[in-house]
Amino acid sequence: MSLNTNEKKCAVCSAYLFEDDDIVHCPVCGAPHHRDCYKSVGHCGLEDLHGTENQYNPKNENEESSAEKEETKPAVCAFCGQSLAEDTQFCPYCGSPNGRGVPFDRLSGFVHVDDNAEIEDGVTIKEAAPIVFTNLSRYIPRFMKMGKEKKSSWNWAAFFLPYGWSAFRKMYSASWALSLLMIISNLLTLPCSLAITRLPGFTDLSRGSAVLARFILENLDKIDSLALILAAVGTLLNLGVMLFGGIFGDYLYKKHVLRAAKEIKVSDDKETALRKKGGVNIFAFMLSLAAVSYLPSLIFAFI
């Protein structure tokens, strides 16, 4: 019994073999047998397979046993690594769908990277993924490509709605700063907008942007010069905020993700920290849109 017979079966009777059994092994293929079973047939129970591709091989059996053990491992979320129940639909810790998460290399499609690859400052893809949560195939490769030195990139979502996008990504400080600048921008353009609506011959915006633009150009001399200057400043400020978001949005988000990952790593309550800092916030997105859209008019009404 010099060989390990744990979880192996007798080649004759197919019963499991135990350490205290009297066991012999086929001198040709090494298949284990009860001594009595081997004597009863007088040869290896798998003799018909000797010399064929199906001949017993202890190595193959060990590999199959390892594969079976791997299949019976407890379910683990691919994003946050927490153990899950078999029937879990969503991870209760990070919220990833189907209870198993989706490994990054399957989400990225055209990019294959090791989940344990470092993005920057000791933060790995596996640690950053549950924080980004959505659109991983864009942000993780972008973070990897940017490195430590590159700060500029291009993000269309951050260009068109810099304040809403940053709020959605839980960058609240950046969102409120950008929202404030956009509110100021809208306040600066309001006097000119109101002056245009009061011009003789103005009806409504349904005439089309081209007709409206021609109407404004034809009546510029009737608009107060201060209102025009304020509108120009407001428009430039608006464009500046949008360009800032488009160019530096990815860089700011990368720094946010790295900082959040480090804080979660040292947190005593990682689950709560991940829920607070990771993923997205649609409510904050809607709130920022409402603030930028309606606050300027409310403020102007009281000025």
Tens-place pLDDT, residues 146-195: 877 788 999 999 999 999 999 999 999 999 999 999 999 999 999 998 89
First-to-last alpha carbon distance for the chain, in angstroms, is: 95
Q: Do residue 54 and residue 170 come from a single domain?
A: no
Is residue 32 included in any domain, yes or no? Answer: yes
- pLDDT for the residue numbered 180: 96
Range of the domain at 141: 76-146
Q: Do residue 232 and residue 135 come from a single domain?
A: no
Q: Do residue 11 and residue 29 come from a single domain?
A: yes
Residues 6 or more apart whose Cβ sits within 8 Å of residue 235: 185, 189
Q: Do residue 170 and residue 297 come from a single domain?
A: yes
- pLDDT for the residue numbered 205: 53
Q: Do residue 140 and residue 249 come from a single domain?
A: no
**C-alpha neighbours within 13 Å on the C-beta side of residue 78:** 15
Is residue 276 included in any domain, yes or no? Answer: yes
How many domains does the structure of the chain reveal? 3
Q: Do residue 200 and residue 275 come from a single domain?
A: yes
Is residue 220 included in any domain, yes or no? Answer: yes
- pLDDT for the residue numbered 201: 77
Sequential DSSP letters for the chain: --S--TT-B-TTT-PBP-TTS-EEE-TTT--EEEHHHHHHHSS-TTGGGTTSTT---HHHHHHHHHHHHHHTSPEE-TTT--EE-TT-SB-TTT--BTTT---HHHHHSS----TT-EEETTEEHHHHHHHH-S-HHHHHHHHHHHTTT------HHHHH-HHHHHHHTT-HHHHHHHHHHHHHHHHHHHHHHHHHHTSTT---GGG-HHHHHHHHHHTGGGS-HHHHHHHHHHHHHHHHHHHHHHHHHHHHHHHHHHHHHHHHHH-S-HHHHHHHHSS--HHHHHHHHHHHHHHHHHHHHT-
Is residue 67 included in any domain, yes or no? Answer: yes
Domain edge (last residue) among 72, 91, 108: 72
Is residue 249 included in any domain, yes or no? Answer: yes
- pLDDT for the residue numbered 78: 57
- pLDDT for the residue numbered 198: 86
Residue 5, domain CATH: 3.30.40
Q: Do residue 172 and residue 287 come from a single domain?
A: yes
Cβ-contact 251, 155 below 8 angstroms: no
How many Å separate Cα 145 from the centre of its chain?
A: 16
Domain edge (last residue) among 47, 72, 97: 72
Is residue 118 included in any domain, yes or no? Answer: yes
Is residue 231 included in any domain, yes or no? Answer: yes
Q: Do residue 62 and residue 141 come from a single domain?
A: no
- pLDDT for the residue numbered 100: 46
Domain edge (last residue) among 146, 164, 193: 146
* Reported pTM: 0.63
Q: Do residue 87 and residue 185 come from a single domain?
A: no
Convert the pLDDT of each residue in 283-302 to its tens digit: 999 999 999 999 988 887 77
Mean pLDDT by 10 residues, the chain (303 residues): 59 83 86 88 87 78 50 56 61 52 43 70 89 87 83 94 96 96 95 88 67 82 92 96 97 96 92 90 95 89 75
Q: Do residue 116 and residue 137 come from a single domain?
A: yes
Is residue 151 included in any domain, yes or no? Answer: no
Q: Do residue 113 and residue 164 come from a single domain?
A: no
Q: Do residue 86 and residue 55 come from a single domain?
A: no
